[in-house]
Amino acid sequence: ATIGSIMLLDERKEYLTIEAAIGLDDKIVKNTHLPIGASIAGYVAKTGEALVVKDVENDERFKRINKERYGPASLLCAPLKIKNNVLGVINMAHKEGGVVFTEDDLRLLTTFASQAAVAVDDAYQFEKSRRRLTEFEILHEIQGELHSISSLTSFRQILVEKLRRVFSIDYAIWFTVDRKETTVVPDGAVGKTDIPLTESGKIDLSRIDRGAISLRDINLDMFDIEDITKLSLFFSEKLRENEHYPSPKNAFMAVPIVRSGELAHVFCIGANTDQAYNDDDISLAELVISQAAVLFEKERAVLNATRLMTMGNMISEISHDLRKPLTSIKGGLQILRERWPELAEESEFFTSVDEEIHRMNLLVRELVDFSNPNRYETTTFDLRQIILRASDLIGPDLRKRGIVFKPSFSEAPWEIMANRNQVFEVFLNLFMNAVEAMSEGGVLRVKGMIEKPEHKKQEYLAIKVTDTGVGIKKENLSRIFERYYTTKETGTGLGLAVVERIISAHNGTLAVKSVEGEGTTFIVYFPFER
> Strand (E) positions, 383-471?
403-409, 415-418, 442-451, 460-467
Cβ atoms of 3 and 93 closer than 8 Å? yes
Smallest gap from Cβ 462 to ligand ADP, in A, equals: 17
Smallest gap from Cβ 318 to ligand ADP, in A, equals: 13
Residue closer to ligand ADP (CB basis): 419 or 520: 520
Residue closer to ligand ADP (CB basis): 130 or 474: 474
Residue closer to ligand ADP (CB basis): 281 or 425: 425
Cβ atoms of 442 and 468 closer than 8 Å? yes
Smallest gap from Cβ 341 to Mg ion, in A, equals: 50
Q: Does residue 193 belong to the site contacting Mg ion (CB under 5 A)?
A: no
Smallest gap from Cβ 525 to ligand ADP, in A, equals: 17
Residue closer to ligand ADP (CB basis): 248 or 495: 495
Residue 272 contacts which entry, Mg ion, ligand ADP, none (Cβ below 5-8 A, type-dependent) = none
Residue 437 contacts which entry, Mg ion, ligand ADP, none (Cβ below 5-8 A, type-dependent) = ligand ADP
Q: What are the backbone angles phi and psi of residue 117, rounded to the nearest 5°? A: -60, -40
Residue 198 contacts which entry, Mg ion, ligand ADP, none (Cβ below 5-8 A, type-dependent) = none
Applying CB under 6 A, the residues found at the interface with ligand ADP are: 429, 433-434, 437, 467, 469-472, 480, 485-488, 491-497, 520
Enter the DSSP assignment of 197: B
Smallest gap from Cβ 429 to Mg ion, in A, equals: 6
Residues numbered 411 to 450 that lie near Mg ion (CB under 5 A) are: 433
Residue closer to ligand ADP (CB basis): 109 or 480: 480
CA distances to 96, 318, 364, 514 from 494, in Å:
93, 9, 17, 19
Residue 418 contacts which entry, ligand ADP, Mg ion, none (Cβ below 5-8 A, type-dependent) = none
Residue closer to ligand ADP (CB basis): 110 or 492: 492
Site string for Mg ion, 473-512 (x = CB under 5 A): ----------------------x-----------------
Residue 492 contacts which entry, Mg ion, ligand ADP, none (Cβ below 5-8 A, type-dependent) = ligand ADP
Residue 488 contacts which entry, ligand ADP, Mg ion, none (Cβ below 5-8 A, type-dependent) = ligand ADP
Residue 288 contacts which entry, Mg ion, ligand ADP, none (Cβ below 5-8 A, type-dependent) = none
The number of beta carbons lying within 10 Å of the beta carbon of residue 375 is 16
- The count of chain residues that interact with Mg ion, using the rule CB under 5 A, is 2
Residue closer to ligand ADP (CB basis): 288 or 394: 394
HSE-CB of 143 using CA atoms within 13 angstroms: 8
Cβ atoms of 213 and 242 closer than 8 Å? yes
Cβ atoms of 407 and 391 closer than 8 Å? yes
Smallest gap from Cβ 467 to ligand ADP, in A, equals: 5
Cβ atoms of 214 and 182 closer than 8 Å? yes
Smallest gap from Cβ 447 to ligand ADP, in A, equals: 15
Residue closer to ligand ADP (CB basis): 74 or 433: 433
Residue closer to ligand ADP (CB basis): 191 or 396: 396
H-type helices in 67-220, by residue range? 103-145, 152-164
Which H helix or E strand runs over 497?
helix 495-505
Smallest gap from Cβ 497 to Mg ion, in A, equals: 10
CA distances to 216, 225, 260, 329 from 219, in Å:
7, 10, 18, 57
DSSP assignment of 287-302 equals HHHHHHHHHHHHHHHH
Q: What is the dihedral of CA 190, 192, 196, 197, to 10 degrees?
A: 70
Q: Shortest Cβ contact with ligand ADP: which residue?
A: 495
> Strand (E) positions, 2-65?
3-9, 15-22, 34-35, 51-53
DSSP assignment of 65-108 equals PPPGGG-SS-EEEEEEEETTEEEEEEEEE--GGG----HHHHHH
Smallest gap from Cβ 397 to ligand ADP, in A, equals: 13
Residue 480 contacts which entry, Mg ion, ligand ADP, none (Cβ below 5-8 A, type-dependent) = ligand ADP
DSSP assignment of 338-397 equals HH-HHHHHH-SHHHHHHHHHHHHHHHHHHHHHHH-TTTT--EEEEHHHHHHHHHHHTHHH
| 224-234: b (≥16 Cβ within 10 Å) or e | ebeebeebbeb
Rounded-to-integer distance, Cα 290 and Cα 280, Å: 15
Residue 45 contacts which entry, Mg ion, ligand ADP, none (Cβ below 5-8 A, type-dependent) = none
Smallest gap from Cβ 523 to ligand ADP, in A, equals: 12
CA distances to 37, 53, 92, 93 from 66, in Å:
19, 12, 15, 12
Q: Shortest Cβ contact with Mg ion: which residue?
A: 495
Smallest gap from Cβ 452 to ligand ADP, in A, equals: 24
Smallest gap from Cβ 480 to Mg ion, in A, equals: 9
Residue 520 contacts which entry, ligand ADP, Mg ion, none (Cβ below 5-8 A, type-dependent) = ligand ADP
Residue closer to Mg ion (CB basis): 306 or 433: 433
Q: Is 209 left (phi over 0), alpha (psi -120 to 50) or beta?
A: beta
For the chain, the straight-line distance linking the first and the last C-alpha, in angstroms and rounded, comes to 100
Residue closer to ligand ADP (CB basis): 68 or 489: 489
Residue closer to ligand ADP (CB basis): 10 or 516: 516
Contacting positions for Mg ion (CB under 5 A)? 433, 495
